[in-house]
Amino acid sequence: MTTLLSAKNVSKAFGGVHALNDCSLDVAQGSITGLIGPNGSGKTTLFNVMTGYVKPDAGSVSFDGNDITGARPNKVFGLGVGRTFQLTRIFARITVLENMLVATQRDESWLRGLTRSKSSPTEVVAAMEWLDFVGLAKLAKLEAGSLSYGQSKLLELAYVLVANPDVILLDEPAGGVNLTLINIIGEKIKALNAQGKTFLIVEHNMEFVMKICDTVTVMHQGQDLVAGTPAEVRANPAVLDAYLGGGEDDDDVEELANG
Amino acid sequence: MHAVIDGVLTGSVYALMATGLTLIFGVMNIINVAQGILVILGAYLSYTLSTHFGIDLFLGLLITIPTMFVVGIVIEWAFVARLKGPEKTAMSILVTYAISLVIEGSLNEIYSVNDVQLSAWYVNKSFLLFGVYFPYIYVFGFLLAAGLLGSLYFMLYRTRFGASIRASLADQSAAALVGIDVKKVSTICFGIGVAVTAAGGMIYGATNTFNASTSYDLISRLLTIIVLGGMGSLGGALVAGILMVTLEDLVGVVWSPIWSTMSFFIVLVIVLSIRPQGLFGQKSARVA
Amino acid sequence: MRKLSNLWWVALVLCGLVLPLLMTNPAYRQIAVYTLIFTACATSWNMFSGYSGYVNLGAGVFYGTGAYSTGLLAEHLHMGGNGTLFWLVPLGGIAAMIIAIPVGLIALRVRRHTFVVITIAIFFVFQLTAINAGWTGGSAGLPLPFIPWQASYYQVPFYYVTLGVLIFAVLLSAGVRRSRFGLQLLAIRDDEDRALGLGVQVAAVKLTGFVMSALVIGMGGAIYAIFQGQIYPQFAFDPIFDITVALMCFFGGFGTLVGPIIGGLILESSQQYLTVTYSNGSLYLILFGVLFLLVILFMPRGIAVYAREYWTRRETKAQADQAALAVGGQS
């Protein structure tokens, strides 16, 4: 399996805090890779480095063979790397459909944007398809700010997808949503993966991770500790140590131990 | 040389008024553009006390400062506290502007539009020290500003209440989480921010002729001071205030008085182009 | 959401066309001209600040530039006092756009709160330059050729020219709103960094919006200059203008198309009327301030937004009632 996206020996410090310490991660094409670790282990920072929101102090990030270290977020997105955020970010004061349309324009010059109307029929069709996929098609004309938390998570996923990225980084997709929705999200991810999309998922919900991921990497204190299949990781004593050492993640530990 | 001294003396008074403004912004994310007219209100209060009741200007502060504090609290409670939502800051500009219009109109009605100036024995007299003439009023003003700023800093760094202000200044939601009554802190901060205008107003009124429309020039100076210093930074307001007046005086002496006011704005624009958050401001967090 | 249908717009335009024929008092006509100027400026201001959320409190820069460039051009081209002066109006608008480029490049680098203040600072640089520099005529101002039309007729051509500019401004604003470009501005308003991450060329879009908003405001300044016949720096570059334009948009409905029109029509005409009626005292300041305060506090997103929400609520309730009836229950 070829590696589609990878981070090599990445380090990043914020003031005195070493968020990332010589961290490496490989995401194989077509896989669903999970990234877990106790709070503060650097998962979101790694995401930020890989998607261009944060410049690393050392190390490199490459996508599809090209070095994208330090590239700006819009460039990274343009190359085919999409991501969602932990605190769902949508454009609250425009409609759900319009949210989708913002994402369809990544290849266009802003000057042409003056003359072109908001939406071409092909774009609307594509956008509606994705909205349908996540189950929000009926709400297309609603102001995005009135969506529920779970719905806005789905919207965020949809508009990242509408740009047809090759790899999608999901930051805690199951966070704060009910069980049914978690299952739906899991199904969608699997369906997309079957179509060839690669996923990298940060999650605290162990059940979710173990169920849908092919490989799992565990992070601890800014470093990649262990990487392997869910079964391997679950059995690895170093992983349990990392979580126990952190202390606050008893739920995670329990889930890990009980599988 | 004289310019530098005047810069420090007068600048500290501006710094005092600007500190109030930046404190309000830092804690509440509110831009109080009424600060200018409130300074004038404070000046007019001192004027009335001195001309109608014969109370000395500095003694009068014992009355005007608490009065302005109450005015601030009332404004905050009645109007500012109702502002919410993503446009809060922009709305605060409009609300406080509307308030300033009402105050301006009222002042014009009560006092007429004629220029006045506060007077006392120490206005227009100076003393000689080290070969330089120090006008009494400027020195007293400086001492007053220094004293008030000093006590403000003391309160902020040595008292419990001050700590809650600093916490709110740093991060409102975190402060709320640790049990700080952010609403109360906000109201009182607004009160403090306005109370200092009483002192600033008195000094300003003693050193300049003024009427209600002088507030426009004042508020534009104060706003540019806090932006230069960094919005929400108290130390920044102090430095920027002194810097502004010193710069203006220097330009006035070295070059020509016509360009002195403008030089400050130009410096502001240059600084902001290089360092958008001001001298001591915090860089806005980028994204995730 | 109920937007004003096209029929309403046509009706408005017709009213506008007919108005001067009904208003014979020149004083009222003057109020009308100013109202139109401000409404056009507010519409254009809203096109950038309302859609992007970057509140520009230095719009006077555009207005004054329009005014002064008109005056300077009239002088250098030795233009006479007649209708040809109106050709300078679009030129004034273009001059404002040219100025908007460097101003925008500096001002748009900072975040929103600082942006507001830096636009004020830049505004004052312009004002002070106008007051102090020789080539602008200094504080004595700049005269323009006076058009010797009959006093009772004087305002009429200005009225129609300004009406034309207003219609242009509204069409421009509506066009932006419908365009991809407008959507990007709205996205920037809601979450600039996310928009950037999605590939929106934020810096270019902001600057373009900023420069576009300068056009009509500059034209407004040009018309004002010709109308007055004399440019004074403190009125061409007037901080009250800055605030008033913003006020109208917030009052009428920030970020909507019809908002600045409501705001402009109501606020400017009432302000002018109050100034004329109560010119002795500062009562109008107080009344104006109070009126404004009330609207901001009770309808903070502006009249248009509240009206729209009110209609939506009525419609939804009506639909719900109908549905209940259909099911056979009582409403």
Tokens of C280: 């002795």
List beta partners, residue A198.
A167
Chain position carrying tokens 């300068």: C214
Helix or strand (DSSP H, E) at B132: strand B132-135
Mean of the pLDDT values across residues C227-246? 83
What is the CB neighbour count within 10 angstroms for residue A247? 10
CA–CA gap between residue B241 and residue C10 (Å, rounded): 54
Answer yes or no: is pLDDT of C267 > 90: no
Q: Are residues C135 and C245 in the same domain?
A: yes
Q: Are residues C317 and C215 in the same domain?
A: no
Mean of the pLDDT values across residues B175-184? 75
Highest mean pLDDT among A93-107, A244-258, B29-43, B178-192: B29-43
**Count of domains in chain C?**
2
Give the SS3 label for residue A23. strand
Q: Are residues C327 and C204 in the same domain?
A: no
Q: Are residues C225 and C323 in the same domain?
A: no
Q: Are the Cβ atoms of A91 and C195 closer than 8 angstroms?
A: yes
Are B6 and B252 in contact by the 8 Å Cβ rule? The answer is no
For residues A249 and A3, which has the higher predicted lDDT (pLDDT)?
A3
Mean of the pLDDT values across residues B8-23? 84
Q: Are residues C323 and C192 in the same domain?
A: no
Are C51 and C268 in contact by the 8 Å Cβ rule? The answer is no
Q: Are residues C268 and C324 in the same domain?
A: no
The contacts of residue B112 (CB under 8 Å, 6+ apart) are none
Are C159 and C36 in contact by the 8 Å Cβ rule? The answer is yes
Measured in degrees and rounded to the nearest 5, phi and psi for residue A17 equal -95, 120
130-169 of C, contacting B, C-beta below 8 A: 132
Question: Closest Cα of chain B to C254: distance in Å?
Answer: 10
DSSP state, residue B116: B
Mean of the pLDDT values across residues B123-151? 75
Q: Are residues C323 and C215 in the same domain?
A: no
Is B254 an interface residue toward A (CB < 8 Å)?
no
> Nearest-CA residue of chain A relative to C184?
A102
Question: Closest Cα of chain B to A246: distance in Å?
Answer: 23
Q: Are residues C99 and C234 in the same domain?
A: yes
CA distances from B132 to A244, B129, B244 (A): 71, 5, 22
Q: How many residues does chain C have?
A: 331
Measured in degrees and rounded to the nearest 5, phi and psi for residue B66 equal -60, -35
Mean of the pLDDT values across residues A205-221? 86
Residue B283 falls inside a structural domain: no
| Residue type present at position B64 | T
Query: Which of C112, C122, C288 is facing B101, going by the closest CB pair?
Result: C288
- The CATH number of whichever domain residue B252 belongs to comes to 1.10.3470
Are C155 and C20 in contact by the 8 Å Cβ rule? The answer is yes
List beta partners, residue A96.
none
Mean of the pLDDT values across residues C176-188? 87
Which of C30, C48, C256, C232 minimizes the C-alpha distance to C143?
C232
Query: Which of B94, B108, B269 is facing C247, going by the closest CB pair?
Result: B94
Q: Which of A188-215 are b and which e, b meaning 16 or more Cβ less than 10 Å from the residue's Cβ?
A: bbeebbeeebbbbbbbbbbebbbebbeb
Residue C329 falls inside a structural domain: yes
Give the mean pLDDT of chain B: 79
Instruction: Identify the domain containing residue B152 by its residue range.
Output: 2-274
179-208 of C, contacting B, C-beta below 8 A: 193-194, 197
Tokens of A243: 């979580």
Mean of the pLDDT values across residues A214-232? 85
Q: Report the range of poorest mean pLDDT among A62-76, B2-16, B17-31, C193-207.
A: B2-16
Question: According to the model, what pLDDT value does residue C21 have?
Answer: 74
Give the SS3 label for residue B283. coil
Answer yes or no: is pLDDT of B125 > 70: no
What is the CB neighbour count within 10 angstroms for residue C187? 28
Cβ–Cβ pairs < 8 A, chains A and C? 94
Give A-chain residues touching C195 at CB under 8 angstroms. 91, 102
User: What's chain B's Rg over C-alpha atoms?
Assistant: 19
Residue B187 falls inside a structural domain: yes
Mean of the pLDDT values across residues A127-150? 85
Which of B99, B111, C182 minimizes the C-alpha distance to A113?
C182
Give B-chain residues touching C286 at CB under 8 angstroms. 101-102, 105-106, 109
Q: Are the Cβ atoms of C250 and B83 closer than 8 angstroms?
A: no
Query: Which of C178, C186, C205 is facing A110, going by the closest CB pair?
Result: C205
Mean of the pLDDT values across residues B212-223? 82
B221-273 tens-digit pLDDT: 888 888 888 877 778 888 888 888 888 888 877 777 777 777 777 888 788 77
Question: According to the model, what pLDDT value does residue C237 have?
Answer: 86
Chain A residues with CB-CB distance to C under 8 A?
A: 51, 53, 72-74, 77-78, 83, 85, 89-94, 98, 101-103, 105-118, 159, 163
Q: Are the Cβ atoms of C179 and A115 closer than 8 angstroms?
A: yes
Q: Are the Cβ atoms of C285 and B269 closer than 8 angstroms?
A: no
Give A-chain residues touching B285 at CB under 8 angstroms. none
Which of B163, B201, B158 minimizes the C-alpha distance to B38?
B201
Tokens of A232: 């391997």
The contacts of residue C39 (CB under 8 Å, 6+ apart) are C166, C248, C260, C261, C263, C264, C265, C268
Question: According to the model, what pLDDT value does residue B138 have?
Answer: 76
| Residue type present at position C243 | I
**Count of domains in chain B?**
1
Three-class secondary structure assignment of chain C: CCCCCHHHHHHHHHHHHHHHHHCCCHHHHHHHHHHHHHHHHHHHHHHHHHHHCCCCCCCHHHHHHHHHHHHHHHHHCCCCCCHHHHHHHHHHHHHHHHHHHHHHHHHCCCCHHHHHHHHHHHHHHHHHHHHHCCCCCHHHCEECCCCCCCCCCCHHHHHHHHHHHHHHHHHHHHHHHHEHHHHHHHHHHHHHHHHHHCCCCHHHHHHHHHHHHHHHHHHHHHHHHHHHCEECHHHHCCHHHHHHHHHHHHHHCCCCCCHHHHHHHHHHHHHHHHHHHCCCCCHHHHHHHHHHHHHHHHCCCCHHHHHHHHHHHHHHHHHHHHHHHHHCCCC
Q: Are the Cβ atoms of A73 and B286 closer than 8 angstroms?
A: no
Long-range contacts of B253-256 (CB under 8 A, 24+ apart): B253/B2, B253/B3
Give A-chain residues touching C208 at CB under 8 angstroms. 110-111, 114
Percentage of chain A lying above the pLDDT 90 cut? 4
Residue C17 falls inside a structural domain: no
Reported as a pLDDT band with limits 50, 70 and 90, residue C1 is very low
Helix or strand (DSSP H, E) at A75: helix A73-79
Is C203 an interface residue toward A (CB < 8 Å)?
no
pTM summary value: 0.81
Q: Are the Cβ atoms of B87 and C111 closer than 8 angstroms?
A: no
Answer yes or no: is pLDDT of C169 > 90: yes
Answer yes or no: is pLDDT of A254 > 70: no
Q: Burial level of A250, CB count in 10 A (0-12/13-18/19+)?
A: exposed
Question: According to the model, what pLDDT value does residue C331 have?
Answer: 43
Are C42 and C248 in contact by the 8 Å Cβ rule? The answer is yes
Is C102 an interface residue toward B (CB < 8 Å)?
no
Q: Are residues C288 and C320 in the same domain?
A: no
Are C183 and C209 in contact by the 8 Å Cβ rule? The answer is no
Tokens of A32: 């669903």
Query: Which of C183, C199, C201 is facing A101, going by the closest CB pair?
Result: C183
Q: Are residues C207 and C327 in the same domain?
A: no
Q: Burial level of A11, CB count in 10 A (0-12/13-18/19+)?
A: middle
Tokens of C79: 């233009």
Are C103 and C61 in contact by the 8 Å Cβ rule? The answer is yes
Are C92 and C37 in contact by the 8 Å Cβ rule? The answer is no
Tokens of A93: 């004061």
Q: What sign does the CA torsion over B214, B216, B217, B221 have?
A: positive
Chain position carrying tokens 């530990």: A253
Q: Burial level of A161, CB count in 10 A (0-12/13-18/19+)?
A: buried
CA–CA gap between residue B267 and residue B285 (Å, rounded): 25
Chains that touch C (3 or more CB pairs under 8 A): A, B
Give C-chain residues touching B104 at CB under 8 angstroms. 282, 285, 289
Answer yes or no: is pLDDT of A247 > 60: no
B18-44 tens-digit pLDDT: 888 888 888 888 888 899 899 989 888
Tokens of B172: 């409102």
What is the CB neighbour count within 10 angstroms for residue C203? 14
Reported as a pLDDT band with limits 50, 70 and 90, residue B285 is very low
- Output the CATH code of domain A35-230+250-258: 3.40.50.300
> Nearest-CA residue of chain A relative to B287?
A53
Tokens of B112: 């007429």
Answer yes or no: is pLDDT of C235 > 70: yes
Chains that touch B (3 or more CB pairs under 8 A): A, C
Is C81 an interface residue toward B (CB < 8 Å)?
no
Query: Which of B31, B105, B258 is facing C285, going by the closest CB pair?
Result: B105
> Nearest-CA residue of chain C relative to B26?
C113
> Nearest-CA residue of chain B relative to A92?
B86
Instruction: Identify the domain containing residue C314 by its residue range.
Output: 304-331
The contacts of residue B274 (CB under 8 Å, 6+ apart) are none
Residue C51 falls inside a structural domain: yes
Is B287 an interface residue toward A (CB < 8 Å)?
yes
CA–CA gap between residue C259 and residue C251 (Å, rounded): 7
Q: Are residues C327 and C270 in the same domain?
A: no
For every residue of B40-95, DSSP letters joined together read: HHHHHHHHHHHHHS---HHHHHHHHHHHHHHHHHHHHHHTGGG--STTHHHHHHHH
C58-104 tens-digit pLDDT: 899 999 999 999 888 888 888 777 777 888 889 999 999 999 999 99
The contacts of residue A87 (CB under 8 Å, 6+ apart) are none
C94-106 tens-digit pLDDT: 999 999 999 999 8
Residue B151 falls inside a structural domain: yes
Percentage of chain A lying above the pLDDT 70 cut? 88
Q: Are residues C104 and C217 in the same domain?
A: yes
C113-155 tens-digit pLDDT: 778 878 888 888 888 888 877 777 777 778 887 777 776 777 7
Q: Are the Cβ atoms of A114 and C194 closer than 8 angstroms?
A: no
Q: Which of B235-254 are b and which e, b meaning 16 or more Cβ less than 10 Å from the residue's Cβ?
A: ebbbbbbbbbbbbbbbbbee
Give C-chain residues touching A91 at CB under 8 angstroms. 186-187, 190-191, 194-195
Tokens of A201: 């998922």
Tokens of C175: 């066009």
Q: Are the Cβ atoms of A91 and C191 closer than 8 angstroms?
A: yes
For residues C211 and C200, which has the higher predicted lDDT (pLDDT)?
C211
Residue C8 falls inside a structural domain: no
| Residue type present at position B124 | N
Order of strands, sheet of A81-83, starting from the edge strand that comes earlier in the sequence: A81-83, A167-171, A198-202, A32-36, A215-220, A223-228
Residue C237 falls inside a structural domain: yes
